[in-house]
Amino acid sequence: MSTGVADPFRFFSLQVVRTKRLGPSLVRVTFGGPDLRDFRSDGCDQSLSLFLPHPGQSEPQVPIELGDHWWQGWRALPDDVRAVMRSYTLRALRRDPDEIDIDFVLHGVEAGAAVPAGPASRWAARAAAGDRVLLLGPAIADNRAIRFRPPEDTDLMVIWGDETAVPAAAAILESLPAGTRARVWLEVHHAEDIQDLVTEADAEVTWLVEDESRGEVPHRLKGVGGAPIPMALAALRATQLPPAEHPYVWIAGESSCVKQLRRHFVGERGIDRRRVTFVGYWRQGLTEEQLREQGE
């Protein structure tokens, strides 16, 4: 049963229907359940909050019975009891049957990874049909957790995303009508993570792959102030975009990379900052809990 929280968002009780490995670093988890009949979204980059159980728990522990005070109750639970909360973007929504897809990046799950896997990556790597989760998502199709909103006069789409933003970028590309010009840069860990994207748009997609075989990760090299440099920055600086009077830019991924790219588009290319949407999905060196604490 779904529980209203802060309209237009509410909790949805869901179960894993199936999983599909998309590459060494990516897995798609399909969720279903009766609650999804009330789920609504018209956005391509719809943001969601997913609550996952700890190992040994049959379901995530969130005090939804507290209504609007669920957050305070959730924070008061012991660390090893309180459900793991992570933010994701919706990859796809289907009806008959009602299902949603969420793509997970398996940080540190592969053997020999330098960075230990987090709880969400570990959960996704072993997710199986019937596993129970809670989702805090939209009950109204047009809601504030949708960021991709190109102006009607847009004559060129420019898109960048790291591996965490690939699901949203793919959904955006799928939504673009024929005749739309789009230039896209996407970063992934491995060449096997590259996906076949479907679009009717005039889209040029460039995949940038981290070279871990040499023990180096190009888009984590340090720049001014020690911030990581996205691989796309050099590629973008070397690229002449098609002429456009009203371009629209959507960039999402690691926060410091997003900020650098925004400075590039606004400062170096002179694009109106009001036509640049930038979203930090995560921050290097910080967990989502730490990010939320900083925002409080």
pLDDT of 93 over the 70 cut: yes
| Domain co-membership, 7 together with 122 | yes
How far apart CA 217 and CA 281 sit, in angstroms, is 19
More confident residue, 158 or 229: 158
Q: For residue 13, tell me if it sits in a domain.
A: yes
Which class for 100: exposed (0-12), middle (13-18), buried (19 or more C-beta within 10 A)?
buried
> What domain range includes position 252?
156-282
Residues 6+ apart with CB under 8 A from 30: 16, 17, 18, 19, 20, 99, 100, 101
Whole-prediction pTM value?
A: 0.86
Q: What is the pLDDT of residue 182?
A: 98
| Domain co-membership, 168 together with 121 | no
Q: What is the pLDDT of residue 109?
A: 53
Q: For residue 150, tell me if it sits in a domain.
A: no
CATH of the domain at 86: 2.40.30.10
| Domain co-membership, 189 together with 114 | no
Q: For residue 96, tell me if it sits in a domain.
A: yes
* pLDDT tens digits, 154-197: 999 999 999 999 999 999 999 999 999 999 999 998 999 999 99
| Domain co-membership, 230 together with 163 | yes
Taking a C-beta distance cutoff of 8 angstroms, is the pair 66, 33 a contact?
no
| Domain co-membership, 162 together with 135 | no
